[in-house]
Chain A
Amino acid sequence: DAEITQSPRHKITETGRQVTLACHQTWNHNNMFWYRQDLGHGLRLIHYSYGVQDTNKGEVSDGYSVSRSNTEDLPLTLESAASSQTSVYFCASSDTAGGPGDTQYFGPGTRLTVL
């Protein structure tokens, strides 16, 4: 069955380190998204991509970067991890057929702790 996976599921790192969170989907969806979820803020969009080589900044993109070299993957990189980036990170994807505003399918999340 097609799915969307994230790795690692849990990560503890130190301030200042570079961290990359992986997201892989097997639906062949063109659209992929990264969100962070924090208490009191709900889900906030970090970056999104509407196709290979396309990336866009979301609401809270400072300190994060993404690259899209193929359809299946959208890795999220924290250039220099900060304690404020301790959060749960969700990746999502959606098909183009229904337009970019179509249903999004979410991964299981990555819990990141920055000490």
Chain B
Amino acid sequence: SQQGEEDPQALSIQEGENATMNCSYKTSINNLQWYRQNSGRGLVHLILIRSNEREKHSGRLRVTLDTSKKSSSLLITASRAADTASYFCAPWDTDKLIFGTGTRLQVFP
């Protein structure tokens, strides 16, 4: 059973625009992580937010977590063509990460 569900499934934007991806999950969590996957490659960790945190920043990334709504969002500001990839949220459920199907982001030059 998948816990992390990303929305939208696909997103196309122009360079310089902001991209927002949302994630919903089902149970209580200890933390929630976001990963990026470039086509044909392994996943790369972007950011980890703990259940007692509401917002976290890393460079052009901003992640929010609302445990009451069981949701998280990833904002990429001033997007670049190199940000084109699939993005996955992964709530930590007791003893493992549960990945969703991801959001495919396409950034056009």
Contacts and interface: CB of A to CB of B under 8 A. Distances in A.
Interface of A: 33, 35, 40-45, 48, 56, 58-59, 90, 92, 99-109
Interface residues of B: mostly helix, strand, loop or mixed?
Answer: loop
Given A56-B95, A103-B33, A106-B42, 6 more contacts: A42-B2, A48-B96, A101-B31, A101-B97, A106-B43, A109-B42
A42 B44 contact: no
Interface in B35-88: 35, 40-45, 48, 88
A58 B98 CA distance: 10
Contacts of B48: 102-103
B31 A104 contact: no
B36 to A, nearest CB: 11
Interface residues of B, number: 24
Interface of B: 1-2, 4, 30-31, 33, 35, 40-45, 48, 88, 92, 95-102
Contacts, number: 53
Centre residue among B30, B42, B88, B95 by max chain A CB count within 10 A: B42
B65 to A, nearest CB: 14
Given A59-B1, A101-B30, A103-B33, A90 B42 contact: yes
The 9 closest A-B pairs by CB, nearest first: A106-B42, A101-B92, A43-B99, A42-B101, A106-B43, A103-B45, A42-B99, A108-B42, A101-B30
19 contacts: A41-B101, A42-B2, A42-B101, A43-B43, A43-B88, A43-B99, A45-B96, A45-B97, A45-B98, A59-B1, A90-B43, A92-B43, A101-B97, A102-B48, A104-B45, A105-B45, A106-B35, A106-B42, A108-B41
Contacts of A45: 96-98
A95 to B, nearest CB: 12
